[in-house]
Structure 1
Amino acid sequence: MEIKNSRDTLGSRENYLGVLRRDCILSLIFCVPLIVIALFFRAIPYANYYMWALATPVVLFFGRQFFIVAWKHALRFSANADTLVALSTGTAYMVSIFNTLLPSFWTDRGMQPHVYFGVSAIVVAFVLLGRYLEERAKSNTAIAIQKLIGLQPQVVTVVRSGQAVVIPVRQIEVGDEVMVKPGERIPADGKIVRGSSFINESMISGEPLPVEKGEGKKVYAGTVNEANTFYYIVSATGKNTLLGNVVGMIQDAERGKRTVQKMADKVSRIFIVVIGFVAIFTFLMWFWLSAEDGFMQGLLSSIMVLIMACPCALGLAAPTAIMAGIDRGAAHGILIKGSEALENADKLTAVVLDKTGTITEGVSRVVRIKWIAHPTPELKGILYGIESYSEHPLSQAVKVYLNDDYRIKPEMKVSSLSGRGLVGETDSANYYVGTMKLLEEQNVAFTEEESDWIHNETGNGNTVVLFVSQSSLLAIISIADKVKPTSIEAIARMKGSGMSLYMLTGDSKRSGDLTARQVGIPVDHVNAGALPAAKASFVSELKDSGEVVAMTGDGINDCGALAMADVSIAMGQGSDIAMEVAQVTIASSDLNLLCKTIDLSKLTNKTIRQNLFWAFIFNVIGIPVAAGALYPAYGVLLNPVMAGVVIALSSAGVVVNSLLLRFREI
C-alpha cells in the first residue's frame, strides 16, 4: 500500500491556475490599447467601437467567473465581492454598448452619451491579477505533497519463502520482512530483526547525524540507510506510516485553514445592498420631484451611482499593496508567496523556532581540538586520511577543520568498525577515530584532565570524537552545531516586541535546553525529541489557546507544523519541500529577516488600510454626488466625463500609495 494523493485534484488545481494566469495576462494586454484610446484618442472615428471590441473579451470571457458566481449568489439571495464586481462592470459595459449603438437616446434629450469600456475592463483585469497571486501561493502545498510522496521508493526487496523478491512498493504488507541495502530509502515503518546500520533520519528529527539502529529498533519510511544491509518487519504502510502522517497533516491543515478575506470582502454584502438601495432611491426621487425630465435624469443618475460604485480602487487597494510588499521583501531576501503571510504577520503573538538549521547553522563543525600527542603533519595526515574514507557529517567536519594542507597521508587501508568508528592500518601501526568505545576496546587510559575536558564538552552539548593509536590517546575533537550569531539578536528583538518564543527540536532535552539558554528562550518553552506529529500538535495547541503563531523551520520534519501555523517561514538553506509548504522563505537563513517580515507586514497592512480608506471615501463622497445630492442646493450634477476622471484619479491614488511602499524602510 502506498501513500495516495488525488492527482485529479492536483491536476485540476494546476489547470485552474494555468487558466487564471492566461486570463490575467491576456486581459492586461487588451487593457493597454483600450486605456490609451480612452485617454488620448477618444475623438477618432469609431473610437467607441474599438474600445467595445477590446473590452468585450476582458469582461465577458476573461471575467466570466465574476458573473457566474454573482448569479449563483443571486439565486440564493446573497452577495459577495464578485457580485459587486459583476454589478458595476456589467452596468458600465452594458451602458457603454447602449450609448455606442443608440447615442440619439441621449442627444435627442440634450444629454451627452459617454462610454465606460475602459473602467469595466481594468477592474476585471486587476481583480484577476490579485486572484492569480493568491491561487499561485495555494498551489505550492500540492507540489510539496507530491514531493513528500516521492520520498517513497518505487520498488522494495522482501523476503518470501527464504528468497529475496523485488516488488512494487504498493504491494508491501504489514508483517513482510524487508531487506534494505546501503543507500536505499526505507519503504515503510517497522522494526529491525537482523543486522544493524546507521540511518539518516534528518527528515524526521531534523538532526544531521545518522542514528545507529540495531535489532529491535524502529525504522521509518522515507529515511535513508547509510551503512550496512539489514532486515526489518513492516509494522505500518502507506498513510499509516510516519511519512504518511506528515502528508496527512499538511492536507488537513490546508483543508482546515480558513480562507483569509481581504478587508474589502468583509463589507461587500452590506455595500452591495446599500448601492442597490441608493440607485433605486435616486431614480424614484428624480422621477417624483422633477416634473420635466425626472425619468431621464433619474435613469442617468441611478446609472451613475452604479458606475461610481465600481470597485476599481477598492479592488486595487489590497493587491497593489501586497505586490509592492512582496517586491520590497524580495529586495531584502524575503521571498513571500501570496497575501496570507503579509496579512497575518503583524498579528503574531507567538513564534515557534526549529533548532537545527534555524537557530543553529545546521552543519557540524569542529569547535576545538585538544592534541595529546604533538600534532605533526604526519599525524594530521593520518587523521585526514581516515576521515576521508567516510561521508559521515562528523568526518566531514574534521576534514574541513584540517583543510587541504594536511592531505599528506601515508598509504593505509581504512575500514569501518560498526557503531564505533574507523580504523586506518599502516605498515607501522593501526590508528582509530571514533567513540569512547574505542578506548575501552584498545585499553587506552586517559588522565583526569583529559576526562574533565571530555566531560565539559559533552556537558555543553558537543559531540566528542577520539583519535587514538594502539597504545595511546592522540587527540580529542569536539564537534558542535553552532548557534548563528544573528539568532541571538533576532530572538531578543522578538521578545522585546512582546512575542512568546518557543523551540522545537528532535534532539535531546539537554541539547535543546543548552541552545535555548544561549539564545534566551525559557527552557520550559523547549519541546525536545519532537517527531513531526508532535511539532504539528504543539503549533495546533498554541493556536487553540488563542495565540497567532508563526512557525520557522527548514526540514521535512517541520512541514506539518509549517502547514498548521498562521504564518510559516522556511530557511532558504533547508529542504525544498519545506520551502514549498511555507508562505515565506528567508533566503539567507538569517532570523533577523523574520523580524523584518513582521515589520513589512505591519507596513503593508497600514498601506492597505490607507488604500481602503481612500477608496471608501471616494465612494462615500462620489455616490451621493452622482445621485444628485448637490443639485437642490447648488444646481450641480456630476458630469459623466468628470466621473470617469474621478474614478481614474481614485485608482491612481491607490496605486501610487502602494508603490511608495517599495521605497519605505523596514
Structure 2
Amino acid sequence: MARNKNIRQDENLELDKLEKVAGQPKMKDTHNHGKEDTGWKSHWDLLFALVLLMALLVLEYGFNLNIPDIPLLAVNLVAYFLAGRTVLHLAWRKSKRGDFFNEFVLMSVATIGAFIIGEYEEGVAVMVFYQIGEWFQDSAVNRAKRSIKALLDIRPDEVTVLRNGKAHVSNPAEVELGESIQVKPGEKVALDGELVSVTASFNTAALTGESKPDTKYKGEQVLAGMINLNTLAEVKVTALFRDSKLSKILEMVQDATARKSQTQLFISRFAKIYTPIVFFLALALCLLPYFFVTDYVFREWFYRSLVFLVISCPCALVVSIPLGYFGGIGLASRNGILFKGGNYLDVMTQVKTVVMDKTGTLTKGVFKVQHVVTQELEKDQLIKIAAALEKNSTHPIAKAVTDYANKDYESLHVTDIEEVAGHGLKGTVDGKDVLAGNLKLLKKYGVAYPEEAERVTDTIVVVAIDQKYSGYITIADEIKEDAYQAIREMHNLNIKTVMLSGDKQTVVDQVAKLLGIDDAFGGLLPDGKVDKVENLKKEGHKLAFVGDGVNDAPVIALADVGIAMGGLGSDATIETADVVIQNDKPSKIPVAIKVGKVTRNIVWQNIILAMTVKVVVLALGAGGVASLWEAVIADVGVALLAILNAVRIQQKKL
C-alpha cells in the first residue's frame, strides 16, 4: 500500500494530530520494509529559525543594539515562516473546509496577532518553541509506534521452497499447502507448518515474548515468525501465508491502534468542545473589558487574549493520551500479550473476577498415566490389553494409555471393536472380551468392581476381561508450571478466581485445591459455562474469561473481557477474544491486568498535570501577569512532561 502523505480528512483532532506528528500513515502496510518517513517538518528550517531568533535576542538585549523596524520585521518574518509555514498551511486547509477551531488556527491567530501589535520576537518564539515541542512529540510517537510496528518486520519477504527435488526462492504468498520449505540457521520461518526434520531449535521471542529457545521435534508445529537457531530445517506448510498465526497477530496489532479507549474518546470529544470555547473566551477577554474597565487599552487586552490562546492549546492532552495507550499496547506485546484495542486496556483495570477453563488454560491438556492398579493380573499385561483396544480411539485419554504402553500392544490381535458413546470401548483382544472405559461402562454390562474405584479422584479407565473386573488406570492432566503463580498474583490484586470445566467435579475440586482457586465447577457443557458466567456477571463486577477451545468461544464473547490462549487456542476462540496470550502461560493474565493499570495511571497523571498547569497559566494570562514567553514555555513544557511520562510505560518491568 502506498504511503499516504496527506493529512487525513478527519475532523477528529486527536487522530489528525497523531498523523501529523507521526508523519506516517496508519499501519496497514504490513509488509513495507522501506525507509521510515521522518515527518513533514524540515528540522533544518526549524533550527535556522531558532538561530535567527537567538541572534536577534542577543543583539537587542545582550548588546542593547537598536535595530531599525523594517530590517527587524524582515528578519523576524523569515524566522517565522521558516518555523511556521506548515502550521499556517494546515490552518488554511482546515479553515477552507470549515474547521476553524483547531490548534493550527489557534497558533496562527496568536502568532500573527503578536506581529500585528509589534511583538515580533514573541510571535516567532511562540511558533519556534511550539514546533520544538512538536519535534519531541514526533520522536515520542514514532518510538511508540515502532515498538508495535517492530512486529510487522518479523515476516520474511522470501522463502526457499522445495519443488521437484530442487530449492527455489519464492514469495511466501505463492507457496501452496503441502509444499515443503527450507529454513536455514538464522532465518525466520515464513509460513506455519509441521517440522519434517528430526529436530530443530527456534527462537520464539517475536511471537511469545519468551527468549528461551524452543526445541521442536518431527511432526510438531512450527509457526511463522520463529527464527531457526542451528541446523537446516525442513517444514511442511499447513497454512497459507494469509492464514498463518503471525498474519492474524499482525492484523490484531494494527486493529488495536485504531480501537480507542473511553478515555481517548472523551479527550477527542473534549478537544472539539474545549477549543472553540477558548477561542470565544479569548475574544471576550479582548473585547468585554471595554464596557467595564475605565482605562481600557485595546493593545493590552488583545495581548492578554493572545496569551490565553497560546496556553489553551490542547496538544499535551491530544498527543500524550493516545501515546500512553500506544505504549501500553507495545508493553503488552513485548510480554507476549496482544490487546485488540486501547479500550480493553481500560476494561482490564476494572476486572474483579477472572473465570478460567481448566484444560489447556491452567493445565497442559496433555494427559498422562499416573497409576495402574490390577487384580489378578500383571500391570504390564493390563496396560497392553487396554492399549490394544484404545489405539482405535482418538480421545486424549486413549492416547495417554497407548503412549504409556509404548507400542507393546501391537502384537495383540483386536477384533469386533465397538464404541459405547459416553462410556468407552468394547472388543475382542486375543480372543478375550474386553471392556475399557469409565465406571458407567462396567455398570452397563453388569460387571462388579470394588468400591475403591468410586473414590478415585483422577480420570479413571477401568478394564474388565471376560466379564470380570481386572483393574483400573488413573490418568491426570498436568498442571502448568506457572499456574500457581498466576492464581497467587491474581489474589494479590484482590481478584476472585473461578474455574469451569467439563471434567468431573472430583477432578476439578482437586485442581482447584492444589492451586488455591476460590470457586470451581465441573461437569459443564458449553451452555453450562455460559449459564455460570451469566450468574457471576449478576454480581455486578467486571468479569474476564480465559479459555482456549472452540467450546470456550461463546463464553469469551459473553465476558466483559475475553482472553484466549493463543498458542494452542482455536481460531474461533482467538477471533472472539479481546486479549490474546501468545505463549499460553496463565501467569500472563495478571501481567495483562498490571499493563492496563499502569497505562491508566499514567494517562490520568497526564490529564491532571496538563489541566492543572493550563488553568493556572490561563488565570495568570487573563490577569496580565503571564506573557507570551511564559505561555509558550508552559504549553511546551507541560506537553513534554506529559509525553515523557507516557514514554515511561514502554520502560516498565512487569
- TM-score, scaled relative to structure 2: 0.60
CA shift, 1:355, in A, is: 3.5
Asked whether the 8 Å contact 1:88–1:307 carries over to 2, the reply is no
SS of alignment partner, residue 570 of structure 1: strand
SS at match of 2:341: coil
CA–CA separation in structure 1 for the residues paired with 2:577 and 2:355:
14
1:597 equivalent in structure 2: 592
Amino acid paired to 1:329: A
Offset of residue 314 of structure 1: 1.0
CA drift of 1:489 comes to 4.5
Distance 1:555 1:637, change over 3 A: same
In structure 2, the partner of 1:416 is 417
SS at match of 2:355: strand
Partner of 2:651: 663
Alignment of 1:426-445 (within 5 A): 433-436=436-439
The corresponding residue for 2:318 is 315
Structure 2 residue 540 is the aligned partner of structure 1 residue 552: no
Q: Describe the SS at the equivalent of 1:326.
A: helix
**Matching residue within 467, 473, 480 for 2:476:** 480
- 1:487 is displaced (CA, Å) by 3.6
Other-structure match for 1:166: none
**1:197-247, Cα deviation, whole Å (9 max, x unpaired):** xxxxxxxxxxxxxxxxxxxxxxxxxxxxxxxxxxxxxxxxxxxxxxxxxxx
Q: Tell me the CA shift for residue 554 of structure 1.
A: 2.7
Are 1:500 and 2:488 counterparts?
no
Note if 1:654 corresponds to 2:642.
yes
Q: CA deviation at 1:619?
A: 1.0
Sequence identity (%): 23
Q: Secondary structure at the match of 1:391?
A: coil
Change (3 A) 1:409 1:379: farther
The separation in 1 between residues aligned to 2:521 and 2:442, in whole angstroms, is: 34
Q: Secondary structure at the match of 2:646?
A: helix
Rounded to whole Å, the distance in 2 between the matches of 1:584 and 1:570 is: 6
1:509-555 per-position Cα deviation (integer Å, ceiling 9, x unaligned): 565555544444455x74863644x6556545554543232333333
What is the CA RMSD across the aligned residues, in angstroms?
Answer: 5.0
Letter of the structure 1 residue corresponding to residue 417 of structure 2: S
Match of 1:529 among 520, 524, 528: 524
Contact 2:367 2:476 in 1 (8 A): yes
The 5 Å alignment of 1:169-568 reads: 260-262=262-264, 264=267, 271=274, 275-276=278-279, 278-284=281-287, 294-372=297-375, 373-376=377-380, 383-402=386-405, 405-406=406-407, 409-410=410-411, 412-413=413-414, 416-419=417-420, 421-422=424-425, 433-436=436-439, 451-457=450-456, 460=457, 462-470=458-466, 475-484=471-480, 486-507=482-503, 512-513=508-509, 515-521=511-517, 526=521, 529=524, 531-532=526-527, 535-536=529-530, 538-540=532-534, 542-568=536-562
Distance 2:15 2:284 in 1: 40
Q: Deviations over 1:549-600 (max 9, x none)?
A: 2333333444344334333322233233323333322333333332233333
Question: SS of the counterpart of 1:591?
Answer: coil
C-alpha deviation, 1:34, in angstroms: 1.0
The CA distance in 1 between the partners of 2:16 and 2:452, in whole Å, is 65
Residue segments in structure 1 that go unaligned for 5+ positions in a row: 1-15, 72-85, 137-256, 631-635
- Equivalent residue letter for 2:418: L
Amino acid at match of 2:47: F
In structure 2, do the counterparts of structure 1 residues 49 and 122 end up closer, same or farther at CA, with 3 Å as the change threshold? same
How much has 1:417 moved relative to structure 2?
0.6
| Distance apart, 1:397 and its partner CA | 2.0
Q: What is the CA distance between 1:655 and its match in structure 2?
A: 1.9
**Matched residue, 1:250:** none
Task: Say whether 1:36 aligns with 2:43.
Answer: yes
Tell me if the contact between 2:501 and 2:523 (Cα under 8 Å) persists in the aligned partners.
yes
Cα deviation for residue 22 of structure 1 reads: 11
Q: Which amino acid aligns with 1:549?
A: L
Instruction: State the one-letter code of the partner of 2:330.
Output: D
Residue 91 in structure 1 maps to residue 91 in structure 2? no
Which residue of 2 is the match for residue 618 of structure 1? 613
Displacement of 1:442: 8.5
Q: Is the 8 A contact 1:414 1:422 kept in 2?
A: no
Check 1:508–1:110 CA distance in 2 against 1; reply closer, same or farther (3 A cut). closer
Change (3 A) 1:521 1:48: same
What's 1:164 paired with?
none
Displacement of 1:56: 7.4
Structure 2 counterpart of 1:638, from 603, 628, 632:
628
* CA distance in 1: counterparts of 2:511 and 2:133, whole angstroms: 58
Deviations 1:479-521 (A, max 9, x none): 2345445444433443454433434445555655555444444
Task: Please say if residues 371 and 475 of structure 2, whose CA atoms lie closer than 8 Å, have aligned partners that are also in contact.
Answer: yes
Offset of 1:303 from its aligned partner? Answer: 3.4
**How many correspondences in the alignment?**
486
User: Whose helix fraction is larger, Structure 1's or Structure 2's?
Assistant: 1
Judging changes above 3 Å, is the alpha-carbon distance between structure 1 residues 432 and 547 closer, same or farther for their aligned structure 2 residues?
closer
What secondary structure is seen at the aligned counterpart in 2 of 1:325? helix
Closer, same or farther in 2 for the Cα pair 1:360/1:123, shift >3 Å? same
